[in-house]
Structure 1
């Protein structure tokens, strides 16, 4: 099955505030962009992904990605507003739509391919993060409407909204996002992409 992947990315200056205790403001900005670049590169390299849509207002990131992905201006309204703008651009009668958060610096294309393959068996599905409370991947089959509910407790919210929780193994890089300092240790252990490795 073919997929269009939407990656929403906050402006780097506003991202990953819970890392402020271990990184300077400049360091956080560099890390946010680097993680997004590695996540996007993995998505682009994933078999079955035919297009990647990036929704962001970050001018530096847009410049770095120009010509390699489909860029959409962030419309406001927070993460879910950005996701909806990406869904509008990605909508297709023939391809599934997958929302992939942009803070998965250890993401491997084979892990994403496996998760999308599992998702193809369900109208709507999602992958929970390593803590099983957040959402890193949200999917819908062609023609099926997505209802993004990102934020605290999003895994439960998506499940209540009719998305099937995929039984992705705990060690999958699709589940390992970065929110707090300990997460940096975990992604480093898995092996991060080149942009994030340069920053760390």
Structure 2
């Protein structure tokens, strides 16, 4: 199994801006960078992940990754473009703000996709999509954003929906930080 992982990553100045009231800009940047590094390292630890592409408007210097330029057409349009280039290949799209992500989460997601053709990892609220895997990449029209789980299930009706803590807890708000802190063992956060 050779999977290509796509990790969308905003420009540094645009990351985690919804945390402005909870964290100062330096803390926001450090949190965003730390989570992205964690997600990249976790992906790299999974033998089935053959390549990691970072979809970003800024070229990165992340070891072991390939930079794919984001041309500013919006996340879903950019993912559709990349998906077209990878048509027929095993594709995983995963967000960079998953502080509890572990290799077992990724393995469970891609195994479910191998079995069903596609798998979708929901957020902790059960309404969003934090990761999506397809055994054979097809352009279904990505729909990341509010209410994305229902839209992705509609577009991929055969997909298995995965609910795992490491894939579900993403960091967008102060409440998300609290949820992650309560789920982590003491001393890890």
TM-score range, shorter chain: 0.7 to 0.9
2:87–2:138 contact (8 Å) kept in structure 1: no
Secondary structure of the structure 2 residue equivalent to 1:121: helix
Q: Deviations over 1:24-50 (max 9, x none)?
A: 122212222221111111111123111
Q: 80, 86, 89: which is aligned to 1:84?
A: 80
Is residue 151 of structure 2 the alignment partner of residue 124 of structure 1?
no
CA separation in 2, counterparts of 1:165 and 1:190?
Answer: 27
Q: Which residue of 1 aligns with 2:139?
A: 145
Q: Deviations over 1:74-97 (max 9, x none)?
A: 1112221332344355x164x410
Aligned pair count reads 187
Partner of 1:110: 104
d(CA) in 2 for partners of 1:117, 1:50: 15
Q: Name structure 1 gaps, 5 residues minimum.
A: none
Aligned pairs for 1:37-52 (under 5 A) are: 37-52=37-52
- Per-residue deviation at 1:131? 0.5
Normalising by structure 2, what TM-score?
0.87
CA deviation after TM superposition for structure 1 residue 143, in Å: 5.0
Larger RCO: 1 or 2 (CA < 8 Å, sep 6+): 1
The two structures have a TM-score, normalised by structure 1, of 0.83
TM-superposed deviation, 1:130: 0.8
| Equivalent in the alignment of 1:4 | 4
- TM alignment of 1:1-200, pairs within 5 A: 1-59=1-59, 62-63=60-61, 65=62, 67-88=63-84, 91=86, 93=88, 95-142=89-136, 144-164=138-158, 166-169=160-163, 171-191=164-184
Q: CA RMSD in A?
A: 2.2
Q: The residue matched to 1:72 in structure 2 has which SS?
A: strand
**Moved runs in structure 1, 4+ residues, more than 6 A?**
none
Q: Does structure 2 conserve the Cα–Cα contact (< 8 Å) formed by 1:47 and 1:109?
A: no
